Structure 1
């Protein structure tokens, strides 16, 4: 089997740095180029100082895909860049693996249609940590029996979207087995707007942003005389890399868009 040829967008970020390392260490992967908006014309060696990384850096995805033959794009940038890069990849016959969040249901539907028309696999994953996927699945299982639920997600203070994609995906998965319901006192009043968090089908979602955090989420469930807490903590971004690797390998076998790593794990 030929190596999977890969482009990485966002190689200088904390996630991107880990992805570069993972791709370079995987025998079946071949890193062909990276996209970084501030370093066109340089090489990856210029960005991280490692020798023997004579891999070109582009500042524009369209130029990159026109000049580089690749099978997969790994995008670990920001929401607007990720969406643009996803579409460029599909339009140029490259299978995208997108780790940015902030996709609406309408956007996912639109990109799904493009992927099906092109008969190309695509993966959008709000979270690549296997433990986080298990946390979401466990919460979905428990929600059948304990439908009063609140979600608290905590991330570093540079994260742009709130709630996180993981929290939204968790709420969506729970809603597949739980009917919408109002929680708490029907006459409750927020003395300070937003105190009760956002509302997704009656599930309250609370977002915390602080320096020092990476990615953390707990799902709190309550019933008469008892509570259940399901929590996942990402301590280091290397935790995401087995999921990224799985997504790259899986996307080569797909001809449609998959939203959420749990679909690949099943």
Structure 2
């Protein structure tokens, strides 16, 4: 039985994930964190208000579905407490991931920092990496709901990092030579240009556009209003994270 501590248990993914863990035969929810729901009862558990309180309860895997502001400190606390970690929150930078990787390796625990636990989002990343081996120019469009505070999204950052393992994209006009407002060319993340859109009516989406002379290729992912795709992927990560030491990036690494 895998004992799970879930931070962000009352959130959009946290609530259905907690229910899925309770329904699973090989996974058990032993601790739950939600700052605003501290003291409330969830099944057989009393929700704690801090990660420190929750980590005092013996567990095997810590799952974070909190916020971009809290995720790094939460993950480091869990790793230092000897827990394997599944990161469902976005907001970690490459520098954050490197720091977490060093601490996790010292603690001999695994951390799955995926960015998006949807299988279809993972497939987009896999297809994009293959396309980058043949098409040398691309840009990324990251879309999300209006209230998402971090940009680019974890999904977009993950894609840019994966593409950097293949090659940097070619550009005809260097961005710094842009005539006008250079910020209109988007942010540079691992040498890829990312354009972040935050609007009502969106949930989470990712698009990558490849281009070369006389042709183009577009790959896109759009998440719907429900959390079901992320729950299944997170359960898979919970079951597999103990197989690793240090940080593993990319949901497709689990497929």
Count residues in correspondence: 253
Maintained 8 Å contact 2:158/2:249: no
Maintained 8 Å contact 1:148/1:203: no
Matched, 1:259 2:249: yes
Maintained 8 Å contact 1:42/1:57: yes
For each residue in 1:127-158, what CA deviation from the matched residue of structure 2 results, as whole angstroms up to 9, or x when unmatched?
11111111011111111221111111111112
**What is the Cα deviation at residue 105 of structure 1?**
2.0
- Report SS of the residue matched to 1:14: coil
Question: 1:222: which partner in 2?
Answer: 211
Maintained 8 Å contact 2:143/2:206: yes
Matched, 1:11 2:9: yes
Matched, 1:181 2:170: yes
Maintained 8 Å contact 1:155/1:215: yes
- Report SS of the residue matched to 1:123: strand
1:70-85 equivalence runs, <5 A: 70-85=59-74
Maintained 8 Å contact 1:182/1:202: no
For each residue in 1:207-257, what CA deviation from the matched residue of structure 2 results, as whole angstroms up to 9, or x when unmatched?
111122111111111111111011111113211112101110011222322
**What is the Cα deviation at residue 114 of structure 1?**
1.3
Distance between the aligned counterparts of 1:141 and 1:154, measured in 2? 23
For each residue in 1:38-85, what CA deviation from the matched residue of structure 2 results, as whole angstroms up to 9, or x when unmatched?
2222212xxxxxxxx13111001112211x111111110112321111
**What is the Cα deviation at residue 199 of structure 1?**
2.5
Distance between the aligned counterparts of 2:32 and 2:210, measured in 1? 43
In structure 2, relative to structure 1, the CA distance for the partners of 1:199 and 1:256 (3 Å cut) is closer
* Equivalent of 1:26 in 24, 27, 47: 24
Maintained 8 Å contact 2:136/2:169: no
Maintained 8 Å contact 2:138/2:192: yes
Distance between the aligned counterparts of 1:183 and 1:176, measured in 2? 21
Question: 1:136: which partner in 2?
Answer: 125
**What is the Cα deviation at residue 23 of structure 1?**
0.9
**What is the Cα deviation at residue 37 of structure 1?**
0.8
Distance between the aligned counterparts of 1:61 and 1:201, measured in 2? 31
Distance between the aligned counterparts of 1:202 and 1:85, measured in 2? 28
For each residue in 1:72-130, what CA deviation from the matched residue of structure 2 results, as whole angstroms up to 9, or x when unmatched?
11110112321111111112222111111222222211211111111112211111111
**What is the Cα deviation at residue 202 of structure 1?**
5.0
Identify unmatched segments of 5+ residues in structure 2: none
Identify unmatched segments of 5+ residues in structure 1: 45-52
Distance between the aligned counterparts of 1:28 and 1:210, measured in 2? 39
Question: 1:208: which partner in 2?
Answer: 197
- Report SS of the residue matched to 2:138: strand
Q: State the TM-score, normalized to the length of structure 2.
A: 0.92
- Report SS of the residue matched to 1:195: helix
